[in-house]
Homo-oligomer: A and B are copies of this chain.
Amino acid sequence: MELYTYFRSSAAYRVRIALNLKGLKADYRYVHLVKDGGQQHTPEYKAINPQGLVPALVDHGQVLTQSLAIIEYLEETHPQPPLLPRDALGRARVRALAQVIACDIHPVNNQRVIQYLEKEFGADEAARKRWIQKWVKDGFSAVEKLLAGHSATGKCCHGGQPTLADICLVPQVFNARRFEIDLAPFPAIRRIHDYCLTLKAFTDAAPEKQADAS
């Protein structure tokens, strides 16, 4: 397998964690999202992923895109250890937690959106930071309630083993810290994040550990 990745992309970070949890090796291909005006925009990379986003995973000569779709694929092709609970309601809960982050926080704060805000509305650094903080806080407030108020929450978002929800949560906390968001109102998120970072699968996937970190 080959993974097209960028150290600071939280969507790529999710797939790196999932690969590590599954004990799978992929050759990393580095796509620098800033250098050369963004290597994701080159015709070479767009021939791999027409959307011009990372990550992309190549397996059996097929290109897979979209981090959650990639992780569901890894789950189906390499079921152990499971990244989703066995019961349908539990799976729905984990997927919903993941999607609050992967649909409603992350894409709104993605680089391409922030760049367009700057270009179209002249959003300065302070305004861009307020924008990012707004969507993280809104999303984390919902995630915190879904975690703190639910009996299935354990050391991880759902029980004691990492699932797709934790895989999305940890990179989003990394982003939140990068943009100086106060995490005091989110004790369940902080506790689960801190626990996950005691696990090698998570720490090995961290941005600062990647060969392309700069």
Contact = CB atoms under 8 A, between A and B. Distances in A.
Interface of A: 50-53, 59-60, 62, 64-66, 68-70, 72-73, 76-77, 88-89, 91-93, 95-96, 98-100, 102-104, 106-108, 110, 112-113, 116-117, 120-121, 123, 127, 130-131, 134, 138-139, 141-142, 145-146
B142 A100 contact: no
A33 to B, nearest CB: 15
Given A120-B127, A120-B130, A89 B66 contact: no
B70 A104 contact: no
Contacts of A62: 89
A121 B141 CA distance: 24
A50 B145 contact: yes
Contacts of A139: 51
B88 A73 contact: yes
A60 B112 CA distance: 41
Q: Which of A69, A131, A134, A138 has the most CB of B within 10 A?
A: A69
A204 B120 CA distance: 39
A60 to B, nearest CB: 7
Contact of A92 (B69, B91, B145): B69
A141 B50 contact: yes
Nearest to A11: B103
B72 A92 contact: yes
A77 B91 CA distance: 11
A96 B127 contact: no
Contacts of A138: 112
Ordered nearest first, which 8 A-B pairs have the shortest CB separation? A69-B95, A50-B145, A51-B142, A73-B92, A66-B99, A66-B96, A121-B121, A69-B96
A113 B121 contact: no
A72 B95 contact: yes
A96 B64 contact: yes
20 contacts: A51-B104, A51-B142, A60-B89, A66-B100, A68-B103, A69-B92, A69-B93, A69-B95, A70-B92, A72-B91, A73-B92, A104-B107, A104-B110, A107-B107, A108-B113, A112-B138, A116-B134, A120-B130, A121-B123, A121-B127
